[in-house]
Amino acid sequence: MPTPSTLISETDLQNRIDEIAGEINRDYADSDLLICVGVLKGSVFFMVDLLKRVTAPVAVDFFQTASYGGAKVPGEVRIRKDLDLSIRGRDVLLIEDIVDTGYTLRTILDLLRFRGAKSVKLCALLDKVEAREVEVPIDYRGFPIENVFVVGYGLDYDERYRNLPYIGVLEEEQ
């Protein structure tokens, strides 16, 4: 298997996560319970490293989504695994690995609000700014990146590379 070239090093990832956790700790200093919702599977590595640095009381839950036939049109994101917890009246922090077109996050954010969360914020490690097709406000953003396919630190290519400790790029010929 080819080794992806490094786009964001492990050190840079961990330093940025320190900073984001600092912001979250300031913003939620008075929250009695922050419900942190990860989107499976890609967000898991980021979520674990981030939440180990968060000092507010948290509960952890997960969504898993799938797109019908890979089609990228609004309304075609399917919930494969729903939340276990009720979020009514709660502060919710949605944690995602990457925002690409924005359809997945737009769908989940709308659903969280519909279910009566007190507040909903989005924390995304990577932001493919130029790929955006629907608007998704990112409250805590790790890194803007170019419109390239990335792997590692949770992100996969055909389920591979998730356990790389850095964000890498698969070259075209690979």
Active-site residue numbers? 100
If we measure between CA atoms, which residue out of 67, 12, 1, 61 comes closest to residue 35? Answer: 61
Tokens of 18: 């320190």
- The binding track of 43-82 with respect to ligand IMP, each residue x by CB under 6 A or -, is ----------------------------------------
Task: Assess 109 for contact with ligand IMP (CB under 6 A).
Answer: no
Site string for ligand IMP, 125-154 (x = CB under 6 A): ------------------------xxx---
Among 21, 87, 94, 104, binds ligand IMP (CB under 6 A): 104
Do the Cβ atoms of 65 and 80 come closer than 8 Å?
Answer: yes
Cβ contact 149:172 at 8 Å: no
User: Do the beta carbons of residue 108 and residue 65 sit within 8 Å?
Assistant: yes
One residue of 20, 92, 94, 100 binding ligand IMP per CB under 6 A: 100
Q: Rounded to whole angstroms, how far apart are CA atoms 9 and 39?
A: 23
Assess 99 for contact with ligand IMP (CB under 6 A): yes
Name the maximum alpha-carbon separation found in the chain: 51
Q: Taking CB under 6 A as the criterion, which residues in 15-44 touch ligand IMP?
A: 39, 42
Among the listed residues 45, 103, 140, 153, the single contact to ligand IMP using CB under 6 A: 103
